[in-house]
Amino acid sequence: MTPYSRMGDGRAVLRSSVREYLASEAVHGLGVPTTRALALVVSDDPVMRETVETAAIVTRMSPSFVRFGSFEHWSSRRQPEPLKTLADYVIDRYYPQCREMPGGAPRDDGVAVLNLLREVTRRTARLMADWQAVGFCHGVMNTDNMSILGLTLDYGPYGFMDGFRLGHVCNHSDTEGRYSWNRQPSVALWNLYRLGGSLHALVPDVDGLRAALDEFEPVFTRAFHERMAAKLGLAAWQVEDEPLLDDLLKLMDANQADFTLSFRRLADALAGQRSAFEDLFIDRPAAGAWLDRLLARHAQDARPVPEVAAGMNRVNPLYVLRNHLAEEAIRAAKTGDAGEIDTLLKLLRNPYEAQPGYERYAGLPPDWAGSIEVSCSS
């Protein structure tokens, strides 16, 4: 047993390793900041979980694996010297601009730490906008799973939504819905406050720490609106677009419409193929009425339809790593067949462009996909 894995054996199994290997490459293909996967190695060593499984190792790549929790570790032990050593290391190696002082003023370590918190807050806010825009749920957003560089880190019980739910929970162990899709931004801000609290030992300026954290909401909101405007094919976000987006999400939630395909097929609807979008909804008249509102909004922009549709397809993916696709790759890998992993990597590294012959990877999930459950051991 090792104390670094909740008194477990410290081993990974093939099942979870395939999911992690594919996930980081899928998220990278979507243009979302993430750690990367270099290699997946399988062993014949038996590992006991609910049943006996096969061991595996994923080699992960990242500029840094420092997390919010790395700072909490020293702060909670009331050890300011190692905490300062860690902060100086992160600033000097990854955020040297945080040392810059206006007018050539002398170095001020307190100001540098405040600048660090501000930059991490901004990066995390933009990352949350990215997650929300592609329907990605992390599953376990504790401070040890939050990257100091604003990267998607530690793929455990993650999930890309199929049928949309505002309160979708991808982690079977999350019975209270703490990490549901619509709560991810607020959880990220909570974690940033924990980081800020840890840095308080180095910076007594509470107002300065709060001012840095206050940047989260405007940065997230602006980034989210920019991404959603692009997904809807709008030239630029306007305040009046808020009800249009809200009503779409409510409509998708009420009908459990597929998240990825609902946005992807908007380009087809714009080009006259309304049924491609409306077919995803049980309440087709409501979907059609909302679509009329979007088309009227597009008329205000007065941009060429082919140009707009092409732009929408550049930001609305056709392929995402759905749970059933990952499960199929896992089942094949257990027999020694890595072909499905290779196929998924090919598609997920270029998720916006349709690949002839791979239509099933872009379709609605099969009925059995609804029975897949993922948890922290997945």
Q: Tens digit of pLDDT for each residue in 58-83?
A: 999 999 999 999 999 999 999 999 99
pLDDT at 6 over 70: no
Q: What is the mean pLDDT of the chain?
A: 95
Distance CA 136, CA 26 (A): 11
pLDDT > 70 fraction of the chain, expressed in percent and rounded? 98
List, in sequence order, every residue forming a beta bridge with 47; answer none if it has no partner.
53
- Cα–Cα distance list, 156 to 23, 140, 374 (Å): 9, 7, 8
- Cα–Cα distance list, 320 to 134, 160, 350, 351 (Å): 9, 7, 10, 7
Report, as an integer, the average pLDDT of 336-343: 96
pLDDT tens-digit map of 255-266:
999 999 999 999
Q: What is the pLDDT of residue 373?
A: 76
- Scored b (16 or more CB within 10 A) or e, 28-58 reads bbbebbbbebeebebeeeebeeeeebbbbeb
pLDDT at 169 over 70: yes
Q: What is the pLDDT of residue 199?
A: 98
Report, as an integer, the average pLDDT of 329-333: 96
Distance CA 246, CA 248 (A): 5
pLDDT at 376 over 70: no
Closest CA to 34 of 161, 174, 182, 145: 145
Q: What is the pLDDT of residue 259?
A: 98
Three-state SS letters, the chain: CCHHHCCCCCCEEHHHHHHHHHHHHHHHHCCCCECEEEEEEEEEEEEECCCEEEEEEEEEECCCCCEHHHHHHHHHCCCHHHHHHHHHHHHHHHCHHHHCCHHHCCCCHHHHHHHHHHHHHHHHHHHHHHHHHHCEECCCCCHHHCECCCCECCCCCCEECCECCCCCCCECCCCCCCCCHHHHHHHHHHHHHHHHHHHCCCCCCHHHHHHHHCCHHHHHHHHHHHHHHHHHCCCCCCHHHHHHHHHHHHHHHHHCCEHHHHHHCHHHHHCCCHHHHHCCCCCHHHHHHHHHHHHHHHHHHCCCHHHHHHHHHCCCCCCCCCHHHHHHHHHHHHCCCCHHHHHHHHHHCCCCCCCCCCHHHHCCCCHHHHHCCECCCC
Provide the pLDDT confidence category of residue 307 given band limits of 50, 70 and 90. Answer: very high
Q: What is the pLDDT of residue 50?
A: 83
pLDDT tens-digit map of 269-293:
999 999 999 999 999 999 999 999 9
pLDDT at 208 over 60: yes
Catalytic: 144? yes
Q: What is the pLDDT of residue 186?
A: 98
pLDDT at 341 over 90: yes
Q: What is the pLDDT of residue 8?
A: 80
Q: Which residue among the candidates 44, 92, 109, 144 is catalytic per the annotation?
A: 144
Provide the pLDDT confidence category of residue 367 given band limits of 50, 70 and 90. Answer: confident
Provide the pLDDT confidence category of residue 343 given band limits of 50, 70 and 90. Answer: very high
Closest CA to 64 of 146, 184, 119, 155: 146
3-state SS class at 234 = coil
Distance CA 155, CA 138 (A): 7
Q: What is the pLDDT of residue 107?
A: 85
Cβ atoms of residues 263 and 161 within 8 Å: no
Report, as an integer, the average pLDDT of 235-263: 98
3-state SS class at 111 = helix
Q: What is the pLDDT of residue 378?
A: 47
Distance CA 203, CA 197 (A): 10
Provide the pLDDT confidence category of residue 5 given band limits of 50, 70 and 90. Answer: low
pLDDT at 377 over 70: no
Provide the pLDDT confidence category of residue 17 given band limits of 50, 70 and 90. Answer: very high
- Cα–Cα distance list, 85 to 80, 81, 82 (Å): 9, 6, 5
Residue with tokens 């409510």: 250
How would DSSP label each residue in 323-362? HHHHHHHHHHHHTT--HHHHHHHHHHTSTTS--TT-GGGG
Tokens of 201: 């030992």
pLDDT tens-digit map of 110-167:
999 999 999 999 999 999 999 999 999 999 999 999 999 999 999 989 999 999 999 9
Phi, psi of 197 (to 5 degrees): -65, -35
